[in-house]
Amino acid sequence: MSANDLLNFLLNEQREVATLEDALRLIEKYELDDSAKHMNHMTKDGFLMYLQQEEGSIFNPAHKEVFQDMSQPINHYFISSSHNTYLMEDQLKGHSSTEAYIKALMKSCRCVELDCWDGAHGEPIIYHGHTLTSKVLFKDVIKAIKEYAFKTSEYPVILSLENHCTLEQQKLMAQHMISILGSALLTSPLEDQMPTAFPSPQELKGRFIIKGKRLNKLDAVYSNTSPGVEEDCVSEEDEAAETNNSKTDPNGQKAKAKKSKIKLAKQLSDLAIYCKSVHFSGFEHAEDNQAFYEMSSFKESKAFNLAETAANAFIHHNMTKLSRIYPAGSRTASSNYNPVPLWNAGCQIVALNFQTPSKEMDLNQGRFRSNGLSGYVLKPEFLWLGS
């Protein structure tokens, strides 16, 4: 291409402020063929060389630093999120490791998953239940998270607990998180009185937020009455037990299915502050009955169905609540789904298998490369303010 052709590309494709002198400078800098360079032309090889450099990238270099407003409630942001974070490989026989958490956190992942089961010698373990994946100690994972959580980003990390443990090992889980994470672990709301909205990433810098079941409402933290029950039964919310054949109407209603129950220890329950896991019973029910801090997880098929058939309701829901999406259980090879339609519906925590290089992970890394690799990207205004 000639210098004028290159200038046309800079102006109309790259949308840069450029002159003919800029085009000639790029030819001089990147063209490898001396005869083409002498004629002020750029060959295909020279053009590809230019595109692979920073000044040829579409990425705005100013966005290498945090440039967005970080004082909005956290549900106003897309949050870089991992599914089955402990796995290095597939979902059936893969290796579980603290290294998988370290890799995800160093890529600025801000929501990691911990699939917790009873282990030998009284110590809880993490692995993909009912499979041949290897096991790793819960406390070793918490230690790794503590060490690496804020090396790439200083903004809050959500620990998404999938709890299958007995009461005694749940108490150990709570004890390990409190003792290892220390004052960085959020154990009560930031406010002196019952909050009505989420705090911001700015306010939560350097903090760990637990996502899990809770025995009571958050306002119990501010109550001067008796401490309440020490344990009670809650639904288990086992992702592996979810089926992909449930039918959902445009309002998100679906036939009630029997869910297994598990006893929940108060010590673990009390750590779920801003991310209390609740079953989704439809958008109307959520609007009328769900507190801002109560959030639901959606398997990908249900989430895509809602995004297609009830997009406005889904967007409206995500203006005040958090939503987490996770891959189908059938993705045994740890493949991924396209996160874009779910971001477009305002879903914040769109969890992917970070261990699998894929186009979908490239989209995720591209999304969260912006805003200083903080792991938080402010949603377009219409997704949190409405039209």
Catalytic residue status for 316:
no
Q: Which residues pair with 325 in a beta bridge?
A: 298, 350
Whether 159 and 208 have beta carbons less than 8 Å apart is answered as yes
Whether 142 and 125 have beta carbons less than 8 Å apart is answered as no
The β-bridge relationship of strands 294-299 and 275-277 is parallel
Determine phi and psi for 200, rounding to 5 degrees: -95, 165
List 38, 76, 83, 95, catalytic entry: 83
Contacts (Cβ under 8 Å, ≥6 apart) of 367: 78, 80, 339, 343, 377
Helix ranges (H only) for 282-382 are 283-289, 300-309, 311-318, 340-344, 359-369
In b/e form, how buried is each residue of 305-334, taking b as 16+ CB within 10 angstroms?
bbbeebeebbbbbbbbbbbbbbbbbebeeb
Structural element, H or E, at residue 213: none
Which token pair is 324? 């987490």
Q: What is the DSSP letter of 261?
A: E
Catalytic residue status for 176:
no
List 41, 76, 95, 128, catalytic entry: 128
Give the three-class secondary structure for 136: strand
Q: What angle do CA 67, 72, 74 make, to 5 degrees?
A: 105
How far, in Å, CA of 41 to CA of 46, rounded?
9
What spatial distance separates the first Cα and last Cα of the chain, rounded to whole Å?
45
What amino acid positions are annotated as catalytic residues? 83, 128
